[in-house]
């Protein structure tokens, strides 16, 4: 049986955090890179986007943690504890953290990534107006730019189609101008 099928059986074809039944996927709980049933949980798209910090935290959505934190599955406990800590400025989340108990190995796993020490703020790629950018978006340059190592000059108003976000730097995207792939700072573009 595949890991996903095992998780679907374990979770009754529902997100193991919020009980949603749509757009379910396997989430490998860090730092475990390989997909194993005991190290993974079944999550919906919304939970996944917020777990992976690709969407801002919606504290109303995470009220589901008041139930999932009592799961008998260590991987669900770990994710619940980490998310409650990211939401610790909410009084209900702080109360839930105080009530939660994890055995020693599970607590070590929960603390292993340091994710619980992060704030609930999510750093996302944003254009000069603060709009969230995503892979595949079209953007417009708000400043003429000289491209380093090239004679190319990207003019103000140039449309860059189908951008790609730079994974480890929220201030940069990649895009093609005149057939050449370049890195552009997000502060010099707006969503098209």
pLDDT in tens, 113-164: 876 666 556 677 889 998 888 899 999 999 998 888 777 888 899 999 999 9
- pTM, entire model: 0.68
- Model pLDDT, residue 119: 57
**Whether residue 112 sits in one domain with residue 25:** yes
Percentage of the chain exceeding pLDDT 70:
96
Q: What is the CA radius of gyration of the chain?
A: 20
SS3 of 67, please?
A: helix
Beta-ladder partners of 172:
185
Tokens of 10: 């374990």
Confidence of residue 66 (pLDDT cuts 50, 70, 90): very high
Are both 54 and 97 inside the same structural domain?
A: yes
Do 147 and 104 have their domain in common?
A: no
Nearest to 166 by CA among 128, 138, 124, 129: 124
**What mean pLDDT, rounded, does the chain reach?**
90
pLDDT value of position 120: 55
DSSP 3-state of 43: strand
Domain assignment of residue 129, yes or no: no
Look up the CATH number of the domain holding residue 157.
Answer: 2.30.30.40
Angle between helices 74-86 and 104-111 (to 10 degrees): 50
Same domain for 111 and 167, yes or no, is no
In a domain, 128, yes or no: no
**Predicted confidence band of residue 192 (pLDDT cuts 50, 70, 90):** confident
pLDDT at 46: 96
The answer as to whether 123 is a domain residue is no
Containing structural domain, residue 158:
139-191
The predicted structure's pLDDT at residue 130: 85
The fraction of the chain above a pLDDT of 90, given in percent, is: 67
Q: Are residues 113 and 152 in the same domain?
A: no
20 pLDDT higher than 90: yes
The 10s digit of each residue's pLDDT in 78-115 is: 999 999 999 999 999 999 999 999 999 999 999 988 76
Which of 64, 83, 117 is the C-terminal boundary of a domain?
Answer: 117
Shared domain check, 177 and 111 = no
| Exposed / middle / buried, residue 30 (Cβ in 10 Å: 0-12, 13-18, 19+) | middle
pLDDT exceeds 90 at position 77: yes
Query: What three-state secondary structure class fits 76?
Result: helix
Range with lowest mean pLDDT among 9-23, 106-120, 149-163, 171-185? 106-120
Q: Which three-class secondary structure state does DSSP give residue 27?
A: strand
Confidence (pLDDT) at 149: 76
Which of 17, 99, 95, 23 shows the shortest CA–CA distance to 58?
Answer: 17
Q: What is the pLDDT of residue 55?
A: 85
Q: 145 and 83 share a domain? A: no
Integer Cα distance of 186 and 4 in angstroms: 37
Do residues 13 and 67 both lie within one domain?
A: yes
Query: Could you please report the per-residue DSSP string of 120-189?
Result: S-----B-TTSPBP-TT--EEESS-EEPTTSS-EE-TT-EE-S-EE-TT-TTEEEEEETTEEEEEEGGGE
């Amino acid at each position: 049986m595949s890991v996903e099928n095992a998780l679907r059986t374990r979770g009754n074809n529902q997100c193991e955090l919020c009980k949603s039944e749509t757009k379910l996927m396997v989430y490998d709980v860090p730092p475990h890179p390989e997909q194993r049933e005991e190290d993974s949980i079944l999550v919906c798209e919304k939970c996944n986007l917020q777990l992976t910090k690709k969407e801002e935290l919606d504290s109303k959505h995470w009220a589901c943690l008041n139930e999932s934190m009592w799961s008998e599955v260590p991987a669900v406990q770990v994710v619940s504890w980490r998310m409650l800590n990211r939401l610790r400025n909410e009084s209900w989340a702080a109360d839930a953290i105080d009530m939660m108990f994890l055995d020693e190995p599970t607590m070590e796993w929960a603390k292993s990534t340091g994710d619980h020490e992060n704030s609930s703020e999510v750093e996302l790629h944003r254009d000069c107006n603060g709009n969230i950018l995503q892979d595949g978006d079209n953007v417009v340059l708000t400043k003429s730019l000289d491209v380093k190592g090239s004679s190319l000059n990207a003019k103000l108003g140039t449309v860059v189609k189908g951008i790609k976000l730079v994974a480890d730097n929220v201030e940069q995207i990649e895009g093609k101008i005149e057939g050449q792939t370049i890195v552009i700072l997000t502060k010099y573009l707006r969503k098209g």
